[in-house]
Amino acid sequence: MKALEVFKTIFDNPLFVLIILLIVLSIVFQILKPKIKGFLGELLIRFVLLFLNKNAYKIIHDVKVFYNGLMSQIDHIIVSKYGVFVIETKNYKSWIFGSENAYEWTQVIFNNKYKLYNPVKQNLGHIKALQANLTDYPNLDYFPIVVFTGSARLKVNSSYPVIKFYRLLKTIKSSKEINISEFTRDEIYNLLLKINGNVPNIETKKFDNTTIKQKNNLCPVCNSPLITKRGKFGRFMGCTDFPRCRYTKRLS
């Protein structure tokens, strides 16, 4: 009874309740911070894309398509008579160094360096998945674009656009050569809406050693590639789709 009285006295104090609430909110924010950053970055791009002509550009957000039994999650797809724009969004700060053909890029914050999977390669993988689902349109042009929404300063060598968000509209509108009719554009748009998130029927396959090795290098949660990282407890495998996916595997 005395313990209950003590708790009642404590929680009757509004200041104490407020402090506890702030502590809980702070902990929750730290846990969800990477997901919140990623969501805010994608939300900013959604807002920017509102300024495109809706009659000329058909936009789909958060598209999930399947290829070879793996899922590709694409942040934004724009279908137009000029072709299909495939947009990968990244929300990072500080310096970003990388090249088109490198497996990893580097984020430098003061004297600390962090690795991230090459988003150009990631986006080209998305396009390969789209091509596998749009085989009825073999001559369709695809335009991969990587957009950074944070305060990152880009030092990147790439033949594909790797840009800050305020250059996105200009980059999209720079493509002016008509590739398909409006009818075909709408047909592709409706098809993407239909297949978005639909898991295909996949036949059971016999895996050889190469296939097993490749699957061991994929995240079991989201199927993104795993890369070796180093933390305060040693080396570990981390998902390249961090911060949206936080899967890790300790290395001996």
Question: Over 34-48, what HEC string results?
Answer: HHHHHHHHHHHHHHH
Determine, yes or no, domain membership for 5: no
Determine, yes or no, domain membership for 149: yes
Determine, yes or no, domain membership for 113: yes
pLDDT band of 134, cuts 50, 70, 90:
very high
Residue in 86, 212, 198, 199 with CA at minimum distance from that of residue 140: 86
Determine, yes or no, domain membership for 41: yes
Domain check: are 248 and 150 in the same one?
no
Domain check: are 24 and 116 in the same one?
yes
Cα(225)–Cα(241) distance, integer angstroms? 8
How many structural domains are present in the chain? 2
Domain check: are 241 and 156 in the same one?
no
Determine, yes or no, domain membership for 6: no
Domain check: are 127 and 233 in the same one?
no
Domain check: are 73 and 154 in the same one?
yes
Domain check: are 165 and 41 in the same one?
yes
Cα(214)–Cα(223) distance, integer angstroms? 11
Domain check: are 237 and 210 in the same one?
yes
pLDDT for 212 = 37
Domain check: are 122 and 230 in the same one?
no
Determine, yes or no, domain membership for 2: no
pLDDT tens across 157-195, in order? 999 999 999 999 999 999 999 999 999 999 999 999 999
Give the structural domain span for 250.
205-252
Beta bridge pairs of residue 226: 239
pLDDT for 172 = 97
Domain check: are 126 and 218 in the same one?
no
Mean pLDDT for all residues in the chain: 81
pLDDT band of 144, cuts 50, 70, 90:
very high
Determine, yes or no, domain membership for 129: yes
Domain check: are 92 and 149 in the same one?
yes
Query: What's the whole-model pTM score?
Result: 0.68
* DSSP H/E element including 62: strand 57-67
Determine, yes or no, domain membership for 99: yes
